[in-house]
Structures are given as C-alpha cells and as structure tokens.
Amino acid sequence: MSFMQCTIVSAEKEIFSESVSMVVATGSLGEIGITPGHSQLLTGIIPGPVKVVKEDGEEEVFFLSGGFIEVQPDVVTLLSDVAVRAEDIDEAEAEKAKEEAEKMKNDAEAGVDFSRARAELAEAAARLQTLRKLRKK
C-alpha cells in the first residue's frame, strides 16, 4: 500500500503531520477523498470534519473551520484558521455556541449582521457534526 504525507495547520500551529493512506474533507461541492497519486488540486473546504487514515489503518478525525486544501501527488496540506482534533472539542461549548448563533440570527431587533450569525451557526453545527462522526467510528 502506498502513502502520502498529510499536514494540517491552524493559524496558531501545526496539529498533524504524518504519513497517511487517505484524507477525506468537505469541499464546497461535497466530500473529497484523496489517496496517494491524486492529481494536483487547490480548493476551498467548508467547516466540518476531516478524516485521515494513518499508515496503521487507524482513523483520526479533526474539525476545520474552513480553509484550503492543497494536493500534490505525495503531499496533502490543509490550512485553516481553526483546526482541532475531534476528541478535543467541548460538546457543551459547541452546543452553547450553536444556541447563541441561532439566537443572534433570530433576533431581528439586535441589528445583527445576519451573514455573520449564519456563518457562526454553520461553524457550531459543523463542530457538533464532527463529534458525531468521531462517535460513529
């Protein structure tokens, strides 16, 4: 079986850099599955889970708040403002953020920027989706 190098970087630090057999991320048009030898690609990714399958077959799930994925034949790099391991997500905090974003979106008299509220709601929902994906493993 062949492998490729995968690196996941947040605005603060590199959180993952290992040899993997597959990466699955969510692009604007749906899920993207990348294996060694994949054609070159540079595209945006939306907030949500990113799954990597390591050399030993173990799967690891991350949450990325959106960003970009660059694919070279033997290297995959994911860049995001926020990138965390799924097991490090605080479910109660994510639920609270989702509720606050829903309240902002529904509060017409607050003079809220609705596109910002919608983006925050989407990110909070994506964090929760990442947790659910981790639990399904």
Confidence of residue 121 (pLDDT cuts 50, 70, 90): low
Residue 109 pLDDT exceeds 60:
no
Q: What is the mean pLDDT of residues 55-70?
A: 93
What does the alpha-carbon distance between residue 41 and residue 28 come to, in Å, rounded to a whole number? Answer: 14
Supply the pLDDT for residue 94. 66
How confident is the model over 89-105, as pLDDT tens digits? 666 776 676 677 677 66
CA distances from 71 to 36, 112, 129 (A): 10, 38, 25
What does the alpha-carbon distance between residue 103 and residue 109 come to, in Å, rounded to a whole number? Answer: 11
Cβ-proximal residues to 126 (8 Å cutoff; 6+ apart), any chain: 46, 47, 48, 49, 63, 65
Token code pair at residue 29? 């048009």
Question: For the whole model, what pTM was predicted?
Answer: 0.73
How confident is the model over 5-42, as pLDDT tens digits? 999 999 889 999 999 999 999 888 889 999 999 999 99
Domains of the chain as residue ranges with CATH: 4-86 (2.60.15.10), 89-136 (1.20.5)
Q: What are the residues facing 92 on neighbouring strands?
A: none
